[in-house]
Amino acid sequence: MFTGIVTDLGEIIELEQRGDLRARIKTSYDLSTVDMGASIASDGVCLTVVAKGDDWYDVEISGETVSKTNLGDWAVGRKVNLERALKVGDELGGHIVSGHVDGVAQLIEMHEEGDSTRMVFEAPEELAKFIAPKGSVTLNGTSLTVNEVAGCTFGINVIPHTKEVTIWGQAKVGDRINLEIDTLARYVARLRDFA
């Protein structure tokens, strides 16, 4: 489990297509505190550490994960949002995030609004019903508050701090974004179907 509060900005330093895709991610985490087999959310996708060095770790990414996320777009030099798994006693600053991406949204509009950047996304139709105004959504591993929803589109604001410490400072229209809907919204919708 994660919170959607990004704690490091990693960088893809190697990619290799084997039976699965293998990625090496450079990080500022103290890897002596990261166990083999630990989960680290990388752009919102829960991935398992399979090897590590002083300032990098490797993950293996299945074909299923590549098909459901934007990880197939990864290239050497790309920056990625990182978050280590939640530990008992950690502050829950965002919302409960599983690291199981539901689909890929597209950034379709962005402009400055005060000191923030206003971003509008288009969600897959089957996921749009789970996104609600003032609800939470996870985009590339970042817990964000939804401002408004209109059909399959929704808007958020990204403050300057978030742009500085995450990949959101490099975002551009057309980007494909990993989308995880709020777990509570998923269960409420499921219960409603049986009411």
**What CA–CA distance (Å, rounded) separates 55 from 176?**
27
User: According to the model, what pLDDT value does residue 140 have?
Assistant: 97
In the three-class reduction of DSSP (H, G, I as helix; E, B as strand; rest coil), residue 52 is classed as: strand
In the three-class reduction of DSSP (H, G, I as helix; E, B as strand; rest coil), residue 54 is classed as: coil
Q: Which residue has the tokens 């539901």?
A: 102
* pLDDT tens digits in sequence order for the chain, 195 residues long: 898 999 999 999 999 998 899 999 999 999 999 999 999 999 999 999 999 999 999 999 999 999 999 999 999 999 999 999 987 777 777 788 889 999 999 999 999 999 999 999 999 999 999 999 999 999 999 999 999 999 999 999 999 999 999 999 999 999 999 999 988 777 777 777 776
User: According to the model, what pLDDT value does residue 29 have?
Assistant: 97
User: According to the model, what pLDDT value does residue 195 have?
Assistant: 63
Nearest to 180 by CA among 81, 110, 89: 81
The CATH 2.40.30.20 domain(s) of the chain lie at 8-84, 103-194
For domain 103-194, the CATH architecture is Beta Barrel (2.40)
**The listed CATH number (2.40.30.20, 3.40.50.300, 3.30.870.10, 2.60.40.3620) that belongs to domain 8-84:** 2.40.30.20
**What CA–CA distance (Å, rounded) separates 68 from 101?**
7
Nearest to 1 by CA among 32, 35, 39, 50: 39
